[in-house]
Amino acid sequence: MTQYHELAGIYDYLVQGVDFEGWIDYIEELLVKFEYSPKTIIDLACGTGNTAFPFARRGYRVAGVDLSARMIDIARKKAEKENLNINFFVQDICCLKLPEPVELITCFHDGLNYLLNYEDIKLTFKKVFDNLLSGGLFIFDLNAVRWLADSSQETTVVQEDDLTLIWQTSYEPEKDIWTIDLTGFFREGDLYRKFQERHSEKAYTPQEIETALREAGLELLAAYHAFSIETIKYDSRRHFYVAKKMA
């Protein structure tokens, strides 16, 4: 089962309630706090482009990177329809290689949680270092360990006129890995087409993230309870990190 192969076609439907403009409002608040005004941005694990588009609309020169060719294809079509000048690249972020270094790198919506091996986290951070300009910032989020561990382990069903989704969640405490086994049925004419995908996320502690950043040559400036400038809380669902490539 390939992650985000079939799901790419309905991803925007699944996240239609997410305030992506609000996410970028928050990033701009952080940029003001750290007195930084980047013009060039790379958005990692960009999916169908939802977190890249607000940057482009606000005048930043932004590009997106994602492992899923289908997600990138959708992102390109959306950008063309909106007349937004955004370059998109199909790449594994563990092997990130950009045409030129940028001033800000972002990674949102727990994209880094999909890296199930700590060595891949460290490798990705090193690639971020290599593709950032000196003094550049790396801003990203991660689902928190406690939230993933406490997530309900049950079967959920969503039914629409032309779509049925069934997902079963589970958590492996010894590995800190949360898994969703997804089965979907798309209506195609008078028939339904079935697909199956498995999505797994691994939880990392703030200490592990700080260590990986430091080993990559990045300085952790702050770690926040999501969408605030408050320090991480015990019951935080999502953490935001701000790191810097030192001059």
Give the C-alpha separation, 184 to 30, whole Å: 38
Supply the range of the domain harboring residue 188: 147-201
233 exposure class (CB count in 10 Å sphere: 0-12, 13-18, 19+): middle
pLDDT in tens, the chain (247 residues): 355 666 787 888 888 899 999 999 999 999 999 999 999 999 999 999 999 999 999 999 999 999 999 999 999 999 999 999 999 999 999 999 999 999 999 999 989 999 999 999 999 999 999 999 999 999 999 988 666 666 666 788 888 888 888 988 888 888 889 888 989 888 878 888 888 889 899 989 999 999 999 999 999 999 999 999 999 987 888 999 999 998 7
Based on the domain organization, do 101 and 15 belong to the same domain? yes
Residue 71 · residue 99 · CB < 8 Å? no
Last residue of a domain, one of 201, 216, 236: 201
Q: What is the dihedral of CA 183, 9, 113, 126, to 10 degrees?
A: 140
* Domain of residue 174, CATH code: 2.20.25.110
**The pLDDT value given to residue 222:** 98
**The pLDDT value given to residue 1:** 39
Neighbours of 198 (CB within 10 A): 11
Give the C-alpha separation, 201 to 182, whole Å: 14
Query: What's the total number of domains in the chain?
Result: 2
Residue 109, Ramachandran bin (φ over 0: left; ψ between -120 and 50: alpha; else beta): left
Residue 149 · residue 137 · CB < 8 Å? no
Based on the domain organization, do 154 and 96 belong to the same domain? no
In this structure, is residue 154 part of a structural domain? Answer: yes
Based on the domain organization, do 84 and 172 belong to the same domain? no
Based on the domain organization, do 157 and 241 belong to the same domain? no
Pairing of β 218-225 and β 177-188: unpaired
Contacts of 184 (CB under 8 A, 6+ apart): 6, 7, 10, 163, 164, 165, 166, 194, 195, 196, 197
